[in-house]
Structures are given as structure tokens and as C-alpha cells.
Structure 1
Amino acid sequence: SNAVFDTGIWTEEVLKARAAHYGLSVEEYKTKNLLKVEVSSYDVAEMVAEMCGPLFAKTTGSGVPIDGGSDRVV
């Protein structure tokens, strides 16, 4: 089976709380990753659409983080 998991982390309330926890502005928090970019639901949708195509036809059981290279997990 296939699944896309939503973290639900991008609500304004959660963003403000998480940014404050790290001593950052919301904008700084949203781009605090190795690529220094904000990751949006559009980015996730593009990856999901690509994975439905022939390039990923033989890929199974893979976890693909779309996080810009989160520095909290690297």
C-alpha cells in the first residue's frame, strides 16, 4: 500500500510555538534546514505525483522525507 503522512506542523499556532521554542521568527523556523528553503504542501504534492510515474515504478517500501534537509534530524 502507499501512504502520504501529513505532520500537521504548519498551522500558525504550532509554527509560532515551535519558532519561539528555538528562539526564531516564524520565517527563520520555516527555512531552518540545510537548503535554507520553506517546504510547502506543493513540494510534497510534486514528489507524490512524480512517484506515481514510471521513474518510480519499481520502488517499494521507501520513506522519502521532503524537509529541505532538516537540521534537527541530520
Structure 2
Amino acid sequence: MAASHSGRAAGPTKPYPAGRIVRAGNTIVGVLIRAGLIPRGYLLTTRGRKSGRLRTQPVALVEHEGRRWLVAPYGAVS
């Protein structure tokens, strides 16, 4: 897929179904972040668009050329 000028992929994004291994990994990483063992790691909690459920995902804070970015491990997802 060709990238647009904004750096995002053109067209709709493909859904990323989180399987058992991904959920287990997120749980382990979440425990490590809460314990302070992962530097610049944070837990981002958002409300589900359709279900309204709270969902928590690990993210990393990356600094580049004086700007800060939150990076999620799965790319472009809802």
C-alpha cells in the first residue's frame, strides 16, 4: 500500500485481532511497567468505540528531534 504525504498508509486499516499470546504478553508487560522495570513504558487506557469497555495497552514514549511520540506495538489499529 502506498503511503500518503502524512506518512500513513492509504486506504482502510486491517483489523488486528489480539490472540491469547498477545493478551498474555500485554499482561506481562503491564506488570513490568507498573513495577517500573520498563523505562519510558506507559499504560494507555481508552474506552472502546462500540462496547464502551475500558481497554489498556502498553505504549512507549519515544523522543526524536525534540518531539515526543507515543508508540504502540501494533501499528495502525482502531
Shorter-chain TM-score above 0.5:
no
User: Greater relative contact order (Cα 8 A, min sep 6): structure 1 or 2?
Assistant: 1
Instruction: Report the TM-score, using the length of structure 1 for normalisation.
Output: 0.28
Instruction: Report the TM-score, using the length of structure 2 for normalisation.
Output: 0.27
